[in-house]
Structure 1
Amino acid sequence: MSEKLFSSLSLLTDSVEGTNLLLEYFSDFSKRLYSARDFKSILQICFEELHKIYSNQHIEVIIWHNSKRLVKFVFDNKTGQVVPDEEFRKKNTIYNYVLENRQIVLTNNYSTFCENLNLEHAELPASAWLGIPMLVRGKVLGALVVWEEKPEHYLRVQDKQFLTTITDMISFAIENIYLYDYIVEKNGSYKVFETVLPRGASNYSAKSVLTQLLQAVLKQHYVSYSGIFIRNRFHQSWRLLNETYNQDSLARLGVDLLAGLPAIPESLFSSGDPVYWHQQYTNSPVRAAVNEVLPRYGINASLLFPFSINQTYLGIWLIGFRREATPPSEDEHQLYRFIYYILTQLLEKKALIERKRKYETYMKHLERMKIAGELASGAAHHLNNILSVIMGKTQMLQRRLQNTPYARDLALILRAAEDGATSIQRLQNVVSRNAGTPGKKEPVNINELVQEVVEIARPRFEREAQSRGIHYDLKLTLGRVQPVLAEASSLREVLLNLVNNALDAMPEGGKLSLQTTCKDNKVLVFVSDTGTGIPENVQERIFEPFFTTKGERGNGLGLSIAADIIQRHRGKIYVDSIPNKGSIFMIELPVSGRIQTGGNHRDRTPGSMPYKILLVDDEGIVRETLAEMLEEEGCEVTTASNAEEALLKFQKYQCDVILTDLSMPSVNGIQLAEQLKQLNPAIPVFIITGWNQIDQQLLASNKVIDGIIKKPFNVEKIRAEIERVLSRSNPILHS
């Protein structure tokens, strides 16, 4: 089976030197980007560098002029220059949606996404589409867009995370240009700035420079207080980042202001314009936020600068005055705006560096996981071969000894082997993360999924816990639920992540509870623990990419990916926690609206399969076992150990069906099938495999394969698959 095609970012990250190459790329990109001195140069560098990664995809930069006009810039391969491609006249495209909602959009089904949101297609022949809004000073300047035409290519969460970091860097570079132009424009009065610029700032941390800037503000006329406040965009709880004051009596001012800051209108952060308040003003938009607190401390006026950082944080820089009602002069405004630019630059740079550092850590983690996954996948394939022999021989012995004292022991052996096969299947699903076609959703029983996750995690909360001398109590409460339309492997990943986090939160042991129920056409899943809990200020950030409380043990992406997966399933995820008491995570998913049925199954009794079968497998013991099983069913079996022998026997002996192993030296099963089909296209060819990556996609993409039989196999599965194909292709032979 050919490897699935992703964007070329995977070719970089999946290579042996992927992490080092990516770090080198970030370093080169940032050096070029931050050396640019005009907007056109930034666009040129952006396209040139991104083209190294997305050489086969379409790259666009959208500029939103005055929040009205959309202009698209693209890279002209003939001239090697960035040029404006077109101006959008339509108001209801996916581009407008990203900009107006300030929302990242990642879809691998562009047309369906537009239809579901009643958006115009903008005459774009896209299959996969990713758009990321570009914010400068809290305002949407435009967006970075990457899209793909070919339906067999698609974009991943890794592309979203990578390009979000790139977009932040571009926004930061553009802000540097704005600040540079501003200083040049005001150069005539630049000396006023020299009094507030920290001396030797390069030798200090960002926090130290922030403090120096705030202290410099206190030296200005009428100023008594200066403080920076910040909150997560998706929560209302504010926190005090830094403050300075000129009297000890103002020491509690910043803390007391926190309660009123949620009253600041969201619209102020969109505009980014400073707001002046005086005690005598009755119609100020920030009156409700400060009017109760500032006068108690003798502060009768304030200047507030709203800002946003990396689409994640909202902030306020507040300057408190004791002055007349007259607003600050133009020179004062100029000075404070300059300091405001420096403050927000420092905060954005600090956030960007931290994001980059965590992304680097994550890439190293991915490389380790890739190696572990390859080892686990190979081991699983080998174990499937072993279990095929055990299960096959046991099934044959059961028939021969069904009314003897050994029947019960044989049943136990078979059940244990089946449990082992199920465990291997779970391992393969977790390692491959590609069970089913990406984006393809099917009705899923959440209760079964929860039970699978418990079994996957059981070695950790039982055997590993016992080895460490601790104990976990598991409480499983599975209610009556309807199926949900979902990618089972993705939801399994979410639930396993929540269970592992719960165990991490209970290093000394504790109680782990999983509960499911159905309410108002929603399936609810609760995962709770009695662990250390999550502080309130941390709860606001746990779903942010790269945020972690586990230090070097964590990469900060587990919960952010979980939230992204749940959102893709039109669901929601919540957290409630009390420090030192425990945490509860709740997942809410809409029911599918489909009724799950068990299919049209009927009991089968052992019977004759009068087929002539050519069996090809390079594993002698597997080949011998399967041949013996088929012969007991009435088949006439000819065996071959490799492709060359199989071709000779195919031409010498007549056969109705061919069963061939996938992984064989020199010529694999698919290549052999192609050669056999050239000799006789009517003969059905089945692939036998213990690899998990083989699924129905192979049947759709490869016309020489008629069916797939997965190891470990049993007689009923083989019979059903052969009869399915033969009844379709040759009804006379089947009858």
Structure 2
Amino acid sequence: IEVPDETKDLFEELGVKSFLSSPIIFKEELIGRIGLHYVNEFKEFSKDDIDLITAISDQLATAIHQAKLYSQIEETKEREILLKTIISNTLLSSNLEEALRNIGEEVARLFNADRISFMFFDNTLQTFSEIKGEYRRKEDMPSAEGKVILEKNFEHYLIEELFIKKNSLIIDNNSRIPEGFIDLLKILYVKTAIAIPIFYRDKPIAVVLLNYAESTKQWNKEELDFLVPIAQQVSIGIYLFQLNEKLGKSVTTERTVRDIVLEARKLEDYKKIFDYLLDRLANIFGVDRVLNLHFTPDGNLSIRNEVIKNIDQAYSLGQDISNVKNIEQIFPDEPDKMVVINDINTDIKDPVLKEYFRSKRTISLLLYPIASRYLTKQQIIGIIMLCSSIPRKWTSDEMDSFKLMVDTTTLVYLEIKQKQDAEEERKTFLATLTHDLRSPLLAEQKSLEAVISKKFGTSLETFSEYLEDMHKTNDELLRLVNNLLLTYQYESGKTELELVSNNINDIIDNAVKSMKPLAEDNDSEIVTDIQPDSPLVMANGDEINRVITNLINNAIKHNTKGTNINVKVKKIDNEVQISVSDNGKGIPESERPYIFQRYPTTKRKIGSGLGLYLSKQIIDAHKGKIWFDTEKGKGTTFYFTLPVS
């Protein structure tokens, strides 16, 4: 036969003078060749020689097939043993990490891998956890556990390839993966890796990573096929442990929340309550530091509480953290909004802000607002911040637990504060009422003493001044008592107003006339700006008169003598707007948020603190609105609206 030149050259190099070759075929499939080489002499092969080597080839084909079959049986046994080992390791392990390390050791032995590691998938956040449950064949090999946090673009790539296409992914120098991840593989001494998706009932739950550090790995079809049942067994183990872990965390969280509620009710002090919460959070989440940032009256954030574990670099209590450049970028701006920063190096773009957190040994953060969501107005009053000195992938379960604990503590604190405010209001009410009753009673007592000291038979004209003072005093007492009674009636819902068409101009005229004596006593002037054709309003005339006289009374009594008051009326759409203005000192900024509350201040020189509260109740009952504008040193204007008849 014609021998190719390359074969001739090879045989000459080996000193082969003659050769006889026969194919080894089993069931029409070529599985090898057998060859006889003669180097000392040229050989003339006979038909018997050819028949003999052909027979030997046939026998070899049968033997090789039987050997392969035996090898496959042994491999099948070994693989069945591995699958049983995975199940037993799962059932006998005390926790998920231990189970994964044991499983990893068996898989690494079978596939001769240098490192086996697991990444869990958070279906809620659609993101991967850091690497957990790692097994390394050599201890001097760098660990990837807790260190690998994937960039978003690579996460999306893995989700697409592993969970949507449902393929295993071989990663080597030829793979089209982001450059940053290739650099990470080099740091971890990885030459070749394969990522295997783990599903439980078609729901992605994790990825198994097989890493090869010393050599590249070529995967054949049988090995890739065997990864499927391995992944199925691992998925059952992971699911069982995750279910058990979730139940355990649920019980722990429930117990923690109960403890927080019980302890907070004992403490009843803001700092002590949140010191306790921060300490519990630090222990539960295993973080290095927990901060409570509190909004100051001027709107800045200062550090109110701090708990530190394992590190010595503290923030400064009382420090105004708002001064840190661009730090507002990471603060939650609405109730229930959580801010997650797994790694400042990738999640924060501002270099100044990065450097600030590095200086405080803070690399990962979880922030959640303390919000008064349980009151009528939702308002953020502070922020709780978990700080880790290493990168950390926060899970949805951790976020839910964190949120529950902060919300529960906030609720308990606000309930306690509400009770404290109610008690303070009660004390204020008693102090205010005592003061308001005492002053006119003392004045009346003096007048009575003066009258009694006169001889009987003296004419009434002699007592007219005292009698007039007593009349004014009784008017004041009657006004106070009426305000108390009306407040109770409005709060209890027992007041049913009779609303009829009324001329607002007449109501204002009557109110102004009744207040003129008080204005004259204080050198004040009341001016009205009323349009003659003002429309009729649906109102209870007596109650609206009470609102106007109360607003005028406040304008006179809470300002210096000589304050001028202006009452205006104008129609806006289907409403009539009434305003009472003064050119007095204005309302202090600290009192403005509480101006329509009962007893808004703890000390009042004049009045029971019910007037504006009662006025709001009356206007609300008319389905109108009441508000005010004020400027320090320039005066205050109160507005209210009534529906047109």
TM-score normalised by structure 2 residue count = 0.41
TM-score (norm 1): 0.37
